[in-house]
Amino acid sequence: MSSQAELKQYLEFAISLAKDAGQMIRDATQKRLSSTSSQFVVKYDNPTDLVTETDQAVEKFIKERLSSTFPEHKFIGEETMAEGVQSEFTDAPTWIVDPIDGTTNFVHSHPYVAVSIGLTIGKEPVVGVVYCPLMDELYSAAKGLGAYLNETISLPMVRSPLEDLSQCLVATEAGSDRTPEVFDKKIDFIRTLLGQKQCHGKQAHSIRCTGSAAINMCTIAKGVVDVYWEVGCWEWDVAAAVVIVREAGGIVVSGDNKRDLSPVNIFGRKYLAIRAAQDQQSQIKIAEQMWEIIPEINAPRKPVPGGFEP
């Protein structure tokens, strides 16, 4: 494992890189607002899964900067994987990057758009930077070094008691998989989460959807949302934010319904995050209440020779 001095070096580099990538996104946003062309295409023949020229350009920029600075490090990126480039996850330092988390927001000029840059060492997420350039909010953390908003504000900003799911604000997403076997279960989950207790619901305060897994998790780190659950997103969506949530006192465990309190497998495609509280027992209580109503949803990965699918 790297020393804290090394982690701080990686963190400072990732912050600088995220800011530069964020400027590319701001520039592209201004260009798109003055253009009549869409500049996006559909991925995987799925009309709800989009990619833009900016996604591809930002990832190329980040990958080249990382490769020239840390040539011995590995790289896993959303657009690189989408192009069919195979990658094997090892103990070696590995940067896991989403150039634009919230591409659909970006296409619609909605501000919840983020650059997500995470670093794993020994297969553990240890550095995370999530930068929201259109709101100029930068979340950053490294293992043992704390979590911060805009490099100066310590997270969480809110640490009120966690007492019951009925008092929680919960973030989740519709996701890009709209097949009935997935989408209907998510709708049923929301119905149960918000439904009245006399009708066997949990009667949570409400739900929030930012359209970005990374930003959803940063609201957990900030302490302004209590619970985040999602099935179907990917490691590049969460690798950076997992570090930020943990360093802010939150927990990130499996978003399956198997009641597993082990640290989340970032490649598992199922995530449950709970904000900081006065004691971990209250976090576990909320996790247990969520697991009671989380549906069984398949989120498979197709194996490919020497690696895994995007």
- Binding-site members are 78, 98, 100-101, 237
Residue of 62, 100, 251, 293 with catalytic role: 100
Residue of 55, 98, 235, 247 with catalytic role: 98
The three-class DSSP label of residue 252 is: strand
Q: Is 237 a catalytic residue?
A: yes
Binding site membership for Mg(2+): which residues?
A: 78, 98, 100-101, 237
Residue of 103, 104, 120, 210 with catalytic role: 103
- Strand ranges (E), 29-146: 40-42, 50-52, 74-77, 94-101, 114-121, 124-132, 137-142
Residue of 55, 59, 79, 101 with catalytic role: 101
Residue of 237, 266, 286, 293 with catalytic role: 237
b/e per residue, 37-46, with b = 16+ CB within 10 A? eeebeebeee
Residue whose C-alpha is closest to residue 262's, from 298, 287, 296? 287
Q: Is 103 a catalytic residue?
A: yes
Q: Is 230 a catalytic residue?
A: no
Q: Is 78 a catalytic residue?
A: yes
Parallel, antiparallel or unpaired: strands 94-101 and 114-121: antiparallel
Residue of 59, 62, 76, 78 with catalytic role: 78
DSSP letter at 17?
A: H
**Largest distance between two CA atoms of the chain:** 60
Catalytic residues: 78, 98, 100-101, 103, 237
